[in-house]
């Protein structure tokens, strides 16, 4: 019996890419591959790429340059590019980087086994189609091997919003929702393998329409899955937060009190230029409604500073919105051009202006995050323990608010939800003590 081939996957970007990488590994498992932690051991290397941030393609070429010597050592090594950069620049990658054997877009990775068969004969393989066949149904069932207590589960892909700064509609395609029964089946398989918390993923996850009741309907179906203790979802659009989903935050015990709801800017003028189709006032009213349903909800957001045409007053409007909302966590970035998007054709702001605004915004967001974590001291939370910490006897997990929490505890707490009292806060985590149940 021949030894298994080894697969190394490097994942860039969002949680959806993490999920996609897992499914790619499962797909290639049918061709005799097992995963390895180091590219030096690999018979195939896959770079699962993200096209959201600046110079994404150049980073891929730099990585390929570092990996080329591995192919000189092992001529049988195959190198593939997957994900959104592959979708956007597939033919250019093939032309510019002869070291690459295969390029596959995010909607075609269920075809990896056939592509692998082709490259093993010395051919090149390129597939950046938006195929009609359902990749999730084509892939074999999720592995029943023992898993950690948390998992991602993609329920929706693509985007119809066409924000002026974003490439997702071009690299992931139109919004598509998976049928609810298939998601429930996959969730049950995950729970059977040891998962206790599932995060539902989508580019616009709350635009999910694979259930008559939308995302809220799907959540209530998942609420019935025995052994599943926690449900989360990301990433959301303000325009798709309907009444049923807001109500679910207040009534579904398994739905955690954490919501990532990007606004991008506090300026109505900039929001219009971004084609966001909501206003700052509408966003604030929405937050009020959600917090009325779930007062202890921790809110997270996304912000872009330095969008073309942003004035000092536009930026101050963003700062004021942040003050009004008070985020427990947030992500903020300088605007960077994405070729092919409408905003890329507009005059760009000076780099020093963008840098200054980003530092000021991040300073305010950091203050809010620190204050939120400090407010947790003395409170009791429920922690799903996931792994052992660096120190002996220390275990680490996540609270219902997605805070990282560490506490002294026996190893058998891993995979269970336990009550913990927070006794101290650190920069990016909380210290707690395990309470008797």
Q: Are 115 and 121 in contact (CB under 8 A)?
A: no
**84 annotated among ligand-binding-site residues:** yes
Task: Please give the Cα distance from 257 to 399 (Å, whole number).
Answer: 10
Question: Helix and strand tally (H, E) in the chain?
Answer: 13, 19
**Nearest partner of 271 among 239, 232, 229, judged by Cα:** 239
Tokens of 296: 């202890």
DSSP string spanning 351-410?
Answer: HHHHHHHHHHHHHHHHHHHHHHHHHTTT-EEEEEEEEE-SSTTEEEEEETT--EEEEE--
**252 annotated among ligand-binding-site residues:** no
Task: Please give the Cα distance from 179 to 193 (Å, whole number).
Answer: 22
**166 annotated among ligand-binding-site residues:** yes
Residue matched to tokens 């195939």: 44
Four-residue CA torsion sign, 227, 229, 234, 238: positive
Beta-ladder partners of 234: 201
| Residue numbers belonging to the annotated binding site | 14, 50, 84, 159, 163, 166
| Residue numbers belonging to the annotated binding site for [4Fe-4S] cluster | 14, 50, 84, 159, 163, 166
């Amino acid at each position: 019996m021949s030894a298994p081939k080894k697969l190394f996957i490097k994942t860039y970007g969002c949680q959806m890419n993490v999920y996609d990488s897992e499914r790619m590994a499962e797909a290639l498992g049918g061709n005799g591959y097992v995963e390895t932690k180091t590219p030096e051991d690999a018979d195939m290397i896959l770079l699962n790429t993200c096209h959201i941030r600046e110079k994404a393609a150049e980073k891929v070429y730099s990585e390929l340059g570092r990996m080329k010597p591995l192919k000189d050592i092992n001529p049988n090594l195959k190198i593939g590019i997957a994900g959104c950069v592959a979708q956007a620049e597939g033919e250019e990658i093939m032309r510019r980087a002869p070291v690459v054997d295969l390029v596959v877009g995010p909607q075609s990775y269920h075809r990896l086994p056939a592509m692998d068969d082709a490259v093993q004969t010395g051919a090149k393989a390129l597939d950046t189609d938006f195929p009609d066949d359902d990749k999730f149904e084509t892939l074999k069932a999720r592995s029943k091997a023992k898993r950690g207590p948390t998992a991602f589960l993609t329920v929706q892909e693509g985007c119809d919003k066409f924000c002026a700064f974003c490439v997702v509609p071009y690299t992931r395609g139109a919004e598509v929702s998976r049928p609810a029964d298939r998601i429930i089946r996959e969730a049950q398989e995950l729970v059977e393998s040891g998962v206790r918390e599932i995060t539902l993923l989508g580019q616009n996850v709350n635009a999910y329409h694979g259930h008559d009741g939308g995302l809220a309907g799907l959540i209530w179906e998942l609420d019935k899955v025995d052994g599943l203790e926690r449900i989360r979802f990301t990433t959301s659009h303000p325009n798709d937060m309907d009444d049923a989903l807001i109500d679910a935050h207040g009534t579904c015990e398994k739905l955690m009190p954490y919501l990532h709801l990007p606004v991008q800017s506090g300026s109505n003028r900039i929001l219009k230029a971004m084609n966001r189709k909501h206003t700052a006032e509408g966003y604030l009213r929405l937050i009020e409604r959600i917090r009325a349903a779930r007062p202890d909800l921790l809110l997270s957001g996304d912000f872009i500073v330095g969008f073309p045409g942003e004035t000092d007053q536009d930026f101050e409007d963003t700062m004021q919105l942040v003050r009004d909302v008070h985020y427990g966590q947030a992500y903020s970035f300088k605007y960077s051009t994405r070729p092919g998007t409408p905003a890329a054709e507009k005059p760009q702001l000076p780099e020093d202006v963008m840098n200054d605004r980003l530092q000021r915004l991040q300073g305010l967001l950091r203050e809010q995050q620190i204050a939120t974590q400090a407010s947790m001291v003395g409170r009791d939370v429920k922690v799903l323990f996931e792994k052992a910490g660096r120190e002996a006897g220390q275990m680490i997990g996540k609270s219902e608010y997605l805070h990282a929490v560490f506490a002294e505890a026996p190893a058998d707490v891993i995979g269970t939800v336990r009550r913990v009292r927070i006794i101290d806060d650190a920069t990016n985590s909380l210290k707690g003590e395990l309470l008797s149940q």
